[in-house]
Each structure stands twice: as structure tokens, then as C-alpha cells.
Chains A and B, each alone.
Chain A
Amino acid sequence: MTTNTERPLIRIRDLRKVYRFGSVDVPALRGVSMDVQAGEFVALLGPSGSGKSTLFHIVGGMLAPTGGSVEIDGVRLESLSDAQRTELRKSKVGFVFQRFNLLPTLTAEENIRIAQHIAGRAGKDEGHFEELVRILGIRHRMRHKPSTLSGGEQQRVAIARALVNRPPILLADEPTGNLDSENSLVVLEVLKTLNRDFGQTVMMITHNPDAAQECAARVLHMRDGRISEPRRD
């Protein structure tokens, strides 16, 4: 259990993002404020186009906000340079996308290893690698190319890749959006296990309210670039 006195792992205040299409401004985030404590599992629900992915891209250091502030593990994001944001993607966050997004020419194992390599952690932390592969149940698929894996297997490889460098935060953007219900259950179960047994902080976007309630301790709703947190219980 977390307490309010602890510094949150993620601290977002009045976050704004406006996309500019030529002369047309598209506001995607209109003042989002929220905290996520270490070890939490937060689910984000909301209609398409409400700004969920935009929020994740900013938190993940892939996109610069237009206004407001984001602090991750004590690091202020809005002031980071391009290179520093690259550094953040290496060390602080792991990304899982709806499309499985594995590199098609590499095997499952190489897809995970390349993340280690990029982070400069190749050959280190073998124990963690082995443990992830075991938890995710993909050991027997390590030598296969993504095209020969099922959707669920691909997504589990992507989760292993996202977590192999021990990032404090896992961001999963509709991780079951492309999966059938059976594979969805497996992936959600894995995320739940990682959070419950290993204390992995998870933020997950989903379309499925049941999945959100089932996995997450906290469910947030997003609409028109703003967050509304319904009272639980």
C-alpha cells in the first residue's frame, strides 16, 4: 500500500498537448493532472481520440508536451533535451503497443536482447532475462521469428523486451487490442502477475472496462483530453 506522503513515481500537473496541423490546432490534452505511486496498476479507459496515447507518449519521453509538467522518478520531462529523452526511454519506461511491434527480421530472443544492447546492458542481468522469459512462458519460442508466433506470444515477447532493462514504469497502450479473448486473458494475467508478485508499476490503456476492473487497482477515465477519476467502491 502506498501513502500520500511518499513521492509519487509519476507526477503529472496540468499537462497540455496541442497538435498543429498546418494552421489548425488539435488539442489532445487539455490539462491532465494525476499521480501514480510506485507499484500501482492504473488502467486508463476512454473513447478513441480522447488523448490516451498522447498522454503515454509524453510520459514515455517520445513526445514533448505543449504545457504543464511531468515528473518521473524525480526527473522533470518538459525540460529534457532530445538526447536526455532518449536516455529516459532506455532506462525509465518500457513500452508495449497494440500492434506487437517486434522487429520482423530478428528472432524473439534477439528482439529482447537488442533492448539490452541499446541500454548498454548486454550480457548483464542474465538472471532477470531468464526469469522474465519464464514468467511470460515464452522460453520455447525464443528462436522463432515474430511471423511464426501467435499474437499472444508476440505480445509477451514485447512485454519481455519492455521489461528486460528493469524500467520503473511499464506503459501498455491497448496491449490486448489486437488479440482474441483467450490470448487477451493470458496477456492480462501476465501483467497482473508482474504487478502483484514483482511490484512492477503498470499503466495500461484499454477499451475493455471488465479487463480494467479485473487487473487494475485504479481505473481512470479520459474524455476530451481530461481525466475523470470515478470514486471506487
Chain B
Amino acid sequence: MVHRLVLRNLLHRPLRTLLTILAVAVEVTMIVLMVGVSEGLLTESLRRTRGVGADILIRPQISSAAIGGADISARLPSMLQDRYPLITQAMGATVFTPGNLQTITGVDWDQLDAMSGGVVLFEGRPYEAPFEAVVDEVYARQEEITVGQAVELMGRDFDVVGICETGKMSRVFIPLETMSDLQGWQGRFSQVYIKVAEGSDIRALIDELRELIPNRSVDSVEDFLALTATSVRQMSSQFVNIIISIAVSIGFIVVMLAMYTAVLERTREIGILKAIGASKLMIGSILMRETLILSVAGIACGYGLSVVGRELVSIRYPLIPVIFVPEWLAGAAVLTVIGSALGAGYPAWKAASADPCETLSYE
């Protein structure tokens, strides 16, 4: 019976109910998409690094691979390969990061092709001339580029000669020498990728390399990926947390306002319920049940909106991948329920402690 009262109350003001559900849904969507984009960007970037197929990564110290610059001697790869027979391939690359955070990579295509076990070209061919470029299919979709078109990179026009699969090192590739010429990086690499023979002792090799070149960071690719994941998550979590707090605050305020107006317009009904013996707990729980229903409906709509949002992002911004993190789908729901319950707390308390005489005696 009380359940029926709760439902009727919600249906009695359909617009208020819908708006509250919508606000909660937006709250959930904000959290899910925010976490999803941050996780998606990270995962994508890690996937590309893993896609190179290397076992060991050598970087300048401190600076991370994502930051541009090149100060590793270009002679290092061949020197290492000569010295350690178990190294089957050592490959240098230069990385330039323009303002839009899309890195441009200078690399020898044949070397990359060999190390990664083959980069599929969907269209066209690898670059052969200095001002030719290969882009991955996602970048091509985002920028609406086809083979034969020109793209402007670092202030110069490059002919796009090939479109490759995504997930191998970078989204935009240009010849190593062109990058060196344009950036003045002759004789230097940003990073060096090393592949070793099957079954070699990677740890031992890393230890030796660290002694050999103490002023460089030498890590296994797996360690590097884990390290990057942790530090990027730490950095982005602060920003993500701010967005989540804003989202939860919006839900809190909207639910509080909705329940507060509900209590105000229902003083008489609340008085009646009290007069016929309803306890404070019961009055409060009616409000809380309404809130719970609004929250659950909002969370369900929020999940739906998130899926729609992810599709829209993938159509409009293919470079921004959205990954739904299961823990955060649950986390968004929990935060939303807590925020809503807190928002309904004051109105519910106000209703529970209302004086029935005052509401009933005056005509």
C-alpha cells in the first residue's frame, strides 16, 4: 500500500519526476564518460606502444615517451646490436608532439614493419619520398583524409600515401630523416626499441644496459606500460575527481530541490498520515523510497545515455576512445545513490518532524 502511495506520488508530478531522473542520468553519464575517456585515451596509447612489438624501451631519463625531444645518439641501436647477439632488432624513433597531443612519429617503415610483425596497410603504400606520410585509419576517419590528399604537419604539407591499421606505435608516421631535418635532430633519437630473441633473459639484459648507459631509462616494455598507466591514472584522477564531484553535486542539489518542493506541497498529506498513526520513520521512508526509485531510474537512463554518448563520441571524435570501466559503472551508481540520499535527507527529516496539528487545523 505504501509502495502504491510512493508510485502515485511520483506519477502525480510527472514533469518534476522526469526532470529529476534526467538530472540523475546526466550525473551518471558525466561520471561514466569522464572515466571512460580518461581510461580510453590511456589504454589506446598503451596499446600502440605494445603494438610496436619491442621487449625493451630506452628513453631519456625523467621525460616520458610522450614528450617530444631527441637526445639519444643514433648510433646506439647498431652499437647495442653488435654488442649483444641476443638482440635481434634495435630501432630508433623520433617523436614530435604538437599542441593537439597527437604525436607524429619519425620511423623507418621497414624496421617498424619487421619489429611489429607487420603493419597492415589498408590503402596505399609506405612512404618513399621525404614529404610523404602514413596515417592510421582512425586518424584518417577523424580528419577525413584519403590516400592522395595532403596533410599539414609541423607547418609543412605531406602527401598521405598510405592508411594503416591502428594500434602500432603511432597514428601519424613520417620518414625518420624528414623529422630530423625539420626538428634539427640529426643523429639523435627520442627513443630506442629493442627486440630480443625468443627465450632470452630480458631482466639480465636490462641490468647490463642500465650499467652501460646509466644516463638513460631502460625498462621492459611491460614495466614501462604499467608505470605509465599508474602515473597517468594518478595525474588524470585529480581532474576526473573534480568532474565527478561536480556531477554528484548536481545530482544532490536537484534531488534535494525536487524532494523539498514535494514535501512543501504535501504538508497536508503528511499531516493526514501522521494523524492516522504513521511514524516519523514511515514518513521519512516514503520520501527515501521515492528518492531511491528516482535514483535507480536515473542510473538506468544514465547507462543508456552513456552508450549513446560513447557512440556519438566515436562518430564525432574517433581519436577519443571511450572505455566503460565496470568498477566505475558500479561506482557511478553508488555515488549517485549516496548523493541522492543525502539530498533527500533534509526534506525527509523536515517531513518526518512536521507537526500534524498545524497542517490540519487551519482551513
A contacts, CB < 8 Å to B: 53, 57, 60, 62-63, 82-83, 86-87, 89-91, 95, 97-99, 101-106, 110, 113-119, 122, 161-162
Contact = CB atoms under 8 A, between A and B. Distances in A.
A62 B276 contact: no
Given A101-B268, A104-B269, A118-B282, A89 B274 contact: yes
B272 interface: yes
Contacts of A162: 276
A106 B8 contact: yes
Contact of B1 (A62, A104, A114): A114
A115 B356 contact: no
A101 B272 contact: yes
Contacts of B199: none
B1 A90 contact: no
Contacts of B361: 53, 57
Nearest to A164: B276
B275 A117 contact: no
Given A82-B280, A98-B363, A117-B1, A62 B8 contact: no
Given A63-B357, A97-B360, A105-B5, A89 B273 contact: no
Nearest to B276: A115
A60, A83, A99, A119: residue with the most chain B Cβ atoms closer than 10 Å? A99
A110 B275 contact: no
B334 to A, nearest CB: 31
Q: Helix, strand, loop or mixed for chain B's interface?
A: helix
A99 B363 contact: yes
A115 B357 contact: no
Nearest to A119: B277
A155 to B, nearest CB: 14
Interface of B: 1-2, 4-5, 8-9, 11-12, 268-269, 271-280, 282, 356-357, 360-361, 363
Contact of A106 (B5, B356, B357): B5
A140 B259 CA distance: 35
Contacts of B1: 110, 113-114, 116-117, 122
A195 B275 CA distance: 22
B275 A60 contact: yes
Q: Helix, strand, loop or mixed for chain A's interface?
A: helix
Nearest 8 A/B pairs, CB to CB: A90-B277, A105-B8, A117-B1, A89-B277, A57-B357, A115-B276, A86-B279, A95-B275
A63 B360 CA distance: 12
A118 B276 contact: yes
A63, A82, A114, A162: residue with the most chain B Cβ atoms closer than 10 Å? A114
A105 B3 CA distance: 12
Contacts of A161: 276
A105 B275 contact: no
Contacts of B9: 105
Contact of B5 (A57, A91, A114, A119): A114
B4 A110 contact: yes
A7 to B, nearest CB: 24
A89 B275 contact: yes
Contacts of A122: 1
A103 B5 contact: yes
Contacts of A114: 1-2, 5, 273, 276
A83 B95 CA distance: 73
Given A83-B279, A115-B276, 6 more contacts: A86-B277, A86-B279, A89-B274, A99-B363, A102-B272, A106-B8
A118 B277 contact: yes
B268, B278, B280: residue with the most chain A Cβ atoms closer than 10 Å? B278
A82 B279 CA distance: 9
B4, B9, B268, B361: residue with the most chain A Cβ atoms closer than 10 Å? B361
A80 to B, nearest CB: 13
B12 A105 contact: yes
Contacts of B275: 60, 62, 89, 95, 97, 101
A110 B7 CA distance: 13
B272 A103 contact: yes
A83 B283 CA distance: 13
B356 A62 contact: yes
B5, B276, B279: residue with the most chain A Cβ atoms closer than 10 Å? B276
Contacts of B280: 82, 86
A101 B12 contact: no
A119 B272 CA distance: 14
A116 B276 CA distance: 9
B363 A117 contact: no
A122 B2 CA distance: 11
Contacts of A89: 274-277
Contact of A62 (B268, B274, B279, B282): B274
Contacts of A57: 357, 361
Contact of B269 (A83, A86, A103, A118): A103
A107 to B, nearest CB: 9
A97 B273 CA distance: 13
Contacts of A95: 275-276
